[in-house]
Amino acid sequence: MRIGNIDLGEKPVLLAPMEDVTDPSFRLICKEQGADMVYTEFVSADALIRNINATTRKLSINEAERPAAIQIYGKEVAPMVEAARIAEAAGPDVLDINFGCPVKKVASKGAGSGMLRNIPLLLEITRAVVDAVKIPVTVKTRLGWDCNSKIIVELAEQLQDCGIQALTIHGRTRSQMYTGEADWTLIGEVKNNQRMKIPVIGNGDITTPEKLAEYYDRYGVDGIMVGRASIGAPWIFREMKHFLQHGTLIEPIPAREKMALLRRQIRESIDRIDEYRGILHIRRHLAATPLFKGIPNFRETRIAMLKASTYTELDEILTFIEEKIF
């Protein structure tokens, strides 16, 4: 699969953009574990052009992450164009437009998946951003606003006509949020549309190497993006890439090796922000990781781990887990 001049190889596995998840440390670890391309957290166009520090920090890309995409969102043409130029100056390989975020504070204001209720404006923004930058522009969106407006097949063609160079489709409507099961049938229909010439990337509910391979074969997409299944489990990319290449599951990755990756995230999160906020940021990964699932009588230890507010306290708990459980 190619996006512009970027060759991602056959059946690439991409790390989805996720707010408060895909920070530089996590992206780099996922890249090292086999992700073929990574995406930043969502970057607000309005905040970016106001030079808000927390937003501009999201533009930082490590050379070892590449190829990497910066994803922006907004609801007006001029701010999106200005933000696109600022983002391009940060040096990403790809600029992605978010027309898929379903959270209320974004969608209710008309940005993210809220743009699915104003297709003329969505297309105007896309054309303007494509014209404003020299790097490849891509789009990530959903099937439609709700079950009565699944417009993705027609919209995909319209976006292609705007000049985007790849399209990622999450197999849910905005109204579904993240509930129910992702519907890939329309993603497959977009891919099988003879008028579509750009790569089509599928997204939604890809949680195992077996399902990844199955969906590649069933829907014929050019790429697959993995999101929530990677939270607290960056090694999933190693497992998925191995299965695609060899058709077998990889030998189980030792628990201590997985723990070392989580520890690295903790240290790098603290170094990037500060001790207290860095630990708060990493709690989502610690809460979601499958590493601790199935451990008998783990509830109290888990609660203590997620309440820890200093590195020393958290380190002691993780050391206890390593010594007593692993």
pLDDT tens digits, 219-263? 999 999 999 999 999 999 999 999 999 999 999 999 999 999 999
What is the mean pLDDT of the segment spanning 130-157? 97
Catalytic choice (30, 101, 147, 162):
101
Is 213:243 a contact under the CB 8 Å cutoff?
yes
* More confident site: 294 or 14: 14
The pLDDT of residue 183: 95
Q: Taking the domain 9-232, which CATH number applies?
A: 3.20.20.70
- d(CA 4, CA 67) in angstroms, rounded, equals 12
Residue 101 annotated to the active site = yes
Q: Where do the domains of the chain lie?
A: 9-232, 255-324
314-323 mean pLDDT: 94
Model confidence at 138, pLDDT cuts 50, 70, 90, reads very high
Position 23 confidence tier, pLDDT thresholds 50, 70, 90: very high
pLDDT in tens, 53-101: 999 999 999 999 999 999 999 999 999 999 999 999 999 999 999 999 9
Residue 158 binned pLDDT confidence (cut-offs 50, 70, 90): very high
pLDDT recorded at residue 159: 98
